[in-house]
Structure 1
Amino acid sequence: MTDTVEQTDWRLEARDVVYEVDAARLLDRVDLNVAEGELVGLVGPNGAGKTTLLRTIGGLLKTRDGAVLLDGDEVRRMDSGERAKSIAHVAQLAPLAQGFTALEVVMMGRYPHMGRLQSERAVDREVVKRALETTGVGSLADRTLETLSGGERQGVFVARALAQEPRLLLLDEPTSNLDINHQARFFNIVRGLVDGGMTAVAAIHDLSLAARFCDRMVLLSEGVVVADGAPGDVLSPENIEAAFGVRAIVSSDPASGSLNLSIMVPGSPEISPGAGTRIHVVCGGGTGARLMYRLCEAGFTVTAGPLGTGDTDRVAAESLGVEHVPVQAFDAIDDASHEAHIKLVQRCDVAVLSDVAFGTGNLRSLEALARAQQIVLATLRPISERDFTGGDAAALFERLSPVAAWSDLEALVTGLPGLAQSSRVAQP
């Protein structure tokens, strides 16, 4: 028997869900809506509540407050047979099912549709055949599970889930133990099912993988929804820091358009020598992205000069929260931007010049750099190879008075604190 409540456009609804164990609140007023034909990824740190939410959605856990509805029916009020027909689970570790063939395991998915003593029917065999083919494991039908790889076994258990003909597919970190090839193949299968109308909710450990395949993502932390929306909105540096306690650079892959994440591990004082030191970077054209990343990771307060729209260094600066002077791509630095740059240069302890090339558009960056208390070169190429101004850049460069030059990034990071200290001592 089921209780049906007001009908909505959502296939799945979790309303104000609270789940507790021994007074520890594992889910705290969680709301989740999932439409038909949508793949929603649950992401978050260990202990965030991803698996607990999946088990609650599946009716396996009794909530203290709130309700989970599937097409308007309260899941906890469904009998076990009805739930098995409606909801299928694929776990993180596929059970070995020693001695059973892939075909036999997938046929187990038909049990909710068969009578207690009923043998398999033609319709059951047809559904199982279709499930095996859909998941690409049809050729493995007669092999026992212990002879299959981890990826092949997961494919078989997805086929078993499909054989249930569910309305909802729940996936609990199903690719955590698979290599990258099988991870991609697995989610390609799931993506195809969802595009065909299946509804799926998946707890996913790999944020980049989740962003690539999910329509929406729900970020959990300590049982609370931190963010819910499109991958690009959920995986912001601010949200990642709030949930995981780490800083991250989020960028778009130029080939696939999917999101890439670079995580900066917070350092202890022993490995964060830059704390309290301001470093200004003059860069552009992708020559400063790695430099700014490493400086931020080492604890320096980093600023940067004028960076044009679409410049890789500007993307990195924005992702890292580096204060910089934004300008239009290919435009010459105007007076206002030049003055803003000078102010950043004058506030720093040390200014670092990257391997950036100079044209008429960014020549004023060298003029601003000359106002720095101390200048360090982080370059590999001579200025003659980077001067596209007919010699003007080289002339400005020669008037600079760098106190050090490092082509090795780690040597630069190690050496900057000492230079910054001497800069402060020298100030009146």
Structure 2
Amino acid sequence: MDRRSFLLTPPALAISAAGLPSNLLAAPAAIHSHTTLLPRRGTGPRIVVAGGGWGGMTAARFLRQHIPEADVVLLERNPTFWSGPMSNKWLIDIVNTDFVNRDMLSPANRYGYTLINTTVNGIEREKKLVLTTHGTIDYDYLILSGGIRDAYEAWFGNDKYAAEYTRRHFPNAYIPNAEMFALKRKFRDFKGGTVVMTLPPPPHRCPPSPYERACLIAWHFKTNNIPGKIIILDPKPKIAPIGEGYRAAFQELYPDIITHVPNAGVKEVDPFNKRIKTAAGDFDFDHAILMPPHQAADIVWYAGLIGKRPDGKPTGWADIHPRFFTARDDDDVYVVGDSMGTISDQFGHYPKSAHVAHAIGKIVAKNIAERVAGKEVVPVLPDNLCYMMVNADPQEEISVVFEYEVDSTGRVLQTQIDMDVRSPDLVAKDFAWIKSRFDDFL
């Protein structure tokens, strides 16, 4: 099996999608690949959004606001919306499940777009069709907002059994699904020992969040007198972003629990014997959070929109216009959120964060509205803001801000501002931030 074949049959697609809501669509007696999923509604353009995360739900909501006549259809395989932001806090019960796990049908009804729970398993751009487990749907504009995929084949090649064994026994829970609950149960039942956490090489989803997770699990060990150690295997030469803030937290709050190992790129993972070989040495573990390299979501691969390196190999990320977020070779297809590719030779990718996905979702909705109205599309820059909790009692956080501007040549430039001093004030700002975003699209 070659790499392309492997990518077209990811483990996630083995999980059956939730049934279609009966009040939205009645399933035909026999479903096949050419069944029409949903007839068009109204006379406006049909805009299909594939992926109902922070970017996709935001785009759907604001498309309906900017283009009231549009037939906006959101396709999402999960029956509920799960927020990555605050999920580390959920692991140690600072917030409850209802805070991070939200109903998706209510916002669809409120804002007037159609929500269909299904799995996308193909895209035919030349025909402007999206293929799903429940049939096909046509579009005038398509927004791909599927987030990331775990590229386990970087570790295991074509050994799918090893990949699936790793996912089941050492979940990383960076893709919202049952892994979140599995990870939480693992640490509730954990009695002690060594926990190894692998970090993906950049770019990856929410760069500062693995360090936050390590801090909060360490706090759990410390508070409950669990004799646990956490080893962070980091491929980067130093902690980043918010490096000084995290370094201080590791050394001052959890010196006997957390060990950060830089330059620890993974060479080999043996999940069966619980052993990892890295560029910084070999490590045995009792439990692990194993994060393989991240790539753009499966749907971007299905659409044939992955970029290429100079040597012809895939970059793993969508090849997009850095200001308009359209696919390089198809300006009727947009990519929003974590799947986006390189933006600038100064900093590479926008941070793969919920804040950026939300911002780009709003920008793309406005851009499509300008196109539909026959107006000039005005490029807009996002921003980024991340709050990270490092202590749960007292609650204290650190944070990072990314600001963007365009230079005289049209190149996008990034300025990073780390706030390294732990502060309870940032906790209040964090909860205010997420409330404002939830209020915006949920």
What's the TM-score once normalised by structure 2's chain length? 0.26
- Which one has a bigger Cα radius of gyration? 1
